[in-house]
């Protein structure tokens, strides 16, 4: 349904007014816009007595801009751009709209967004000088922003990746494009990425073309934190402590530095990745098809890389075995992950009994549901992993070793650890396994429980044993935002 507006006698809606058209001629009234879609009728010239349907205004999802469609048989000027019949254009607060192909004798309006609660929140969120959000290489708003250390300047991932590649080809040290300081680390900045997106939503004129974005993405090689080798004598200490401290004082180097494996060896300009599981180093290989980053968390893991190079463990060089990082379909699991069902042990016990009743194993259930995921039979909107839409059975995922799992369980109560991605995926699939199970197939004591109003988002289940046991929490919230 669309509403009909009138620039001289618009009736006010009971809904909140979120925008209006302000005429340049004081003889006409504002056109107030309260619905998400409005067809506006107005005079075409200041001397005309007839009324014409001349545009449709549709509110955009960012709540601070709109899409305008010309419904008039005449051309309309929008910020100097000629908009012909049925053409559409994005408009924002301050956009000038002229109801004719030229200014002479035509009415003009100024589109104005009225800040509401949502808009105010967004304005606070993007309170930043635009110039401070620009990459000094391309002079545009950051795209997939990365931050370098120790100077903490910010650049587009694609711009800096290309700068890094050229610097390594020609120079001993990689210098910051902004201040010329020697760069030791670079990593993606997720906080500034959110600001980058907010700026582009607030001002669509700052967006790049699809072709520019695709080109930048093709250059981008920084997936996680990188340690950059500078000079010939630079040594790096362990980036992350290993799971045991037997060799904590050994200086780390990459096994491929000075040694050739499969036709490749590191040189003094090679960028190295610290493995998130063992702390060891491996070269960043943009020329290799072997994954070095987990798609679920974007962190670097060395297990698949060294396995592909046929390099075995060494006392001098920490490295992971292939079991820590391999395709989802090749992982195995024998017990329900600690974080399954929001760490509710009562729900975990019910799921375990459900699996037992089917006469299968946990591994069989997960294999079946990975197949459903691969066939896109599952809603991925709640999947707690990066790049959820790209994940398939062949995607390489990180998985906790027994020692890492012990550390995770020990630190979880303190909120200090992040689980490995395979465990997160299994927990996600077990949620759907339970959701899909008819109630009459649940164990007898579980069938009689009422659903918790707050479902999986309930916070009370974590500190009230009775509530966790008496209510079903493997269900969607039907009330509120997650507390009881």
- Interval 31-37 mean pLDDT: 88
Which tens digits make up the pLDDT trace of 273-293?
888 888 888 998 888 899 999
pLDDT of residue 400: 66
Query: Among candidates 360, 313, 301, 311, which has minimal Cα distance to 334?
Result: 360
How many CA atoms, within 13 angstroms, populate the side-chain half-sphere of residue 368? Answer: 12
pLDDT of residue 383: 92
pLDDT of residue 42: 61
SS3 325: strand
Alpha-carbon gap, residue 342 to 355, rounded angstroms: 18
Query: Please, what is the Cα angle at 112 between 106 and 114, to 5 degrees?
Result: 155
Sheet holding 3-6, edge to edge: 3-6, 37-42, 52-59, 65-70, 88-92
Mean pLDDT (the chain) is: 80
The answer to which of 113-127, 218-232, 317-331 has the lowest mean pLDDT is 113-127
Question: CA 340 from chain center: how many Å?
Answer: 22
Alpha-carbon gap, residue 380 to 296, rounded angstroms: 13
- Interval 59-66 mean pLDDT: 85
Which tens digits make up the pLDDT trace of 417-475?
445 899 999 999 999 999 999 989 999 999 989 999 999 999 899 889 899 999 999 99
pTM of the prediction?
0.54
Residue 366, pLDDT above cutoff 90: yes
Percent above pLDDT 70 for the chain: 81
Among the ranges 33-47, 73-87, 385-399, which has the highest mean pLDDT value? 385-399
pLDDT of residue 8: 37
Alpha-carbon gap, residue 407 to 414, rounded angstroms: 11
pLDDT of residue 330: 95
CA dihedral 93, 95, 100, 101 (to 10 degrees): -160
The DSSP secondary structure of 407-448, one letter per residue, reads: HHHHHHTTT-----HHHHHHHHHHHHHHHHS-GGGS-HHHHT
Cβ burial, residue 350 (10 Å; 0-12/13-18/19+):
buried
- Interval 41-53 mean pLDDT: 57
18: which 2 tokens?
A: 């979120």
Domains of the chain: 3-117 (2.60.200.20), 126-222 (3.30.40.10), 229-320 (3.30.40.140), 330-448 (no CATH)
The larger pLDDT score, comparing residue 113 to residue 314, is at: 113
pLDDT of residue 50: 54
Query: Among candidates 118, 172, 181, 196, which has minimal Cα distance to 151?
Result: 181
Tally the residues of the chain.
Answer: 484
Instruction: With residue 19 as reference, give the H or E element that holds it.
Output: strand 19-23
The total of other beta-carbon atoms located within 10 Å of residue 413's CB is 9
Residue 381, pLDDT above cutoff 90: no
Q: At how many degrees (to 10) do helices 345-357 and 362-374 cross?
A: 90
Listed in sequence order, the residues at least 6 apart from 275 whose beta carbon sits closer than 8 Å to its beta carbon are 240, 281, 282, 300, 301, 302, 303, 318, 319, 320
Which tens digits make up the pLDDT trace of 159-192?
999 998 888 877 778 889 888 888 888 888 888 8
The region, left, alpha or beta by phi > 0 then psi within -120 to 50, assigned to residue 302 is alpha
Alpha-carbon gap, residue 265 to 258, rounded angstroms: 6
Which tens digits make up the pLDDT trace of 382-398?
899 989 999 999 999 99
Look up tokens 């700068």; give the residue.
163
Percent above pLDDT 90 for the chain: 31
Query: Among candidates 401, 412, 245, 278, which has minimal Cα distance to 342?
Result: 412
- Interval 226-232 mean pLDDT: 66
Residue 253, pLDDT above cutoff 80: no
- Separation in Å, CA 296 to CA 56, 227, 327, 384, 422: 42, 21, 12, 8, 8
Look up tokens 């004081």; give the residue.
26
The answer to which of 243-247, 262-266, 377-381 has the lowest mean pLDDT is 243-247
Band (235; pLDDT cuts 50, 70, 90): very low
- Interval 105-111 mean pLDDT: 83
The region, left, alpha or beta by phi > 0 then psi within -120 to 50, assigned to residue 283 is beta
Residue 251, pLDDT above cutoff 70: no
Band (5; pLDDT cuts 50, 70, 90): very low
Residue 231, pLDDT above cutoff 70: no
Which tens digits make up the pLDDT trace of 311-353?
877 777 888 888 889 999 999 999 999 889 999 999 999 999 9
Query: Among candidates 356, 359, 374, 358, which has minimal Cα distance to 429?
Result: 374
pLDDT of residue 326: 93
């Amino acid at each position: 349904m669309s509403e009909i507006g009138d620039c001289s006698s618009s009736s006010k809606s009971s809904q909140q007014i979120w925008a209006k058209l302000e005429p340049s001629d004081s003889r006409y009234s504002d056109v107030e816009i309260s619905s998400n879609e409005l067809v506006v009728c107005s005079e075409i010239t200041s001397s005309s007595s007839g009324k014409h349907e001349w545009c449709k205004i549709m509110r955009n999802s960012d709540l601070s801009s709109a899409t305008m469609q010309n419904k008039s048989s005449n051309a309309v000027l929008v910020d100097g751009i000629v908009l012909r019949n049925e053409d559409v254009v994005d408009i924002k607060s301050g956009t000038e709209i002229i109801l004719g192909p030229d200014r002479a004798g035509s009415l003009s309006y100024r589109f104005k967004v009225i800040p509401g609660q949502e808009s105010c929140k967004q304005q606070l969120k993007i309170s930043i000088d635009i110039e401070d959000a620009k990459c000094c290489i391309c002079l545009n708003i950051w795209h997939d922003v990365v931050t370098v250390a120790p100077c903490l300047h910010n650049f587009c991932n694609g711009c800096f990746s290309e700068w890094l590649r050229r610097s390594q080809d020609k120079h001993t040290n990689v210098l910051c494009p902004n201040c010329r300081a020697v760069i030791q680390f670079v990593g993606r900045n997720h906080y500034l990425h959110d600001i980058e997106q907010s700026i582009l939503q607030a001002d669509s004129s700052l967006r790049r073309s699809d072709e520019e974005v695709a080109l930048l993405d093709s250059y981008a090689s920084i997936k996680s934190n990188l340690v950059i080798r500078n000079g010939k004598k630079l040594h790096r200490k362990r980036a992350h402590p290993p799971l045991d401290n037997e060799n904590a004082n050994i200086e780390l180097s990459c096994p491929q530095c000075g040694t050739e494996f499969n036709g490749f060896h590191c040189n003094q300009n090679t960028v190295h990745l610290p493995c998130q599981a063992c702390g060891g180093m491996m070269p960043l290989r943009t020329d290799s098809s072997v994954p070095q980053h987990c798609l679920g968390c974007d962190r670097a893991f060395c297990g698949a890389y060294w396995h592909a190079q046929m390099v075995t463990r060494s006392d001098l060089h920490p490295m992971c075995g292939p079991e820590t990082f391999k395709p989802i379909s090749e992982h195995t699991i024998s017990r329900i992950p600690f974080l399954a069902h929001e760490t509710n042990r009562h729900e975990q016990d019910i799921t375990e009994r459900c699996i037992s009743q089917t006469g299968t194993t946990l591994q069989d259930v997960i294999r079946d549901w990975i197949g459903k995921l691969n066939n896109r039979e599952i809603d991925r909107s709640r999947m707690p992993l990066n790049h959820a839409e790209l994940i398939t059975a062949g995607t390489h995922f990180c998985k906790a070793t027994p020692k890492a799992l012990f550390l995770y369980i020990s630190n979880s109560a303190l909120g200090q650890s992040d689980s490995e991605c395979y465990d997160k995926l299994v927990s996600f699939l077990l949620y759907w396994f339970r959701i899909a199970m008819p109630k009459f197939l649940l164990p007898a004591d579980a069938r009689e429980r009422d659903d918790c109003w707050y479902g999986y988002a309930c916070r009370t289940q974590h500190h009230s044993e009775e509530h966790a046991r008496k209510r079903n929490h493997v269900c969607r919230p039907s009330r509120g935002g997650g507390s009881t």
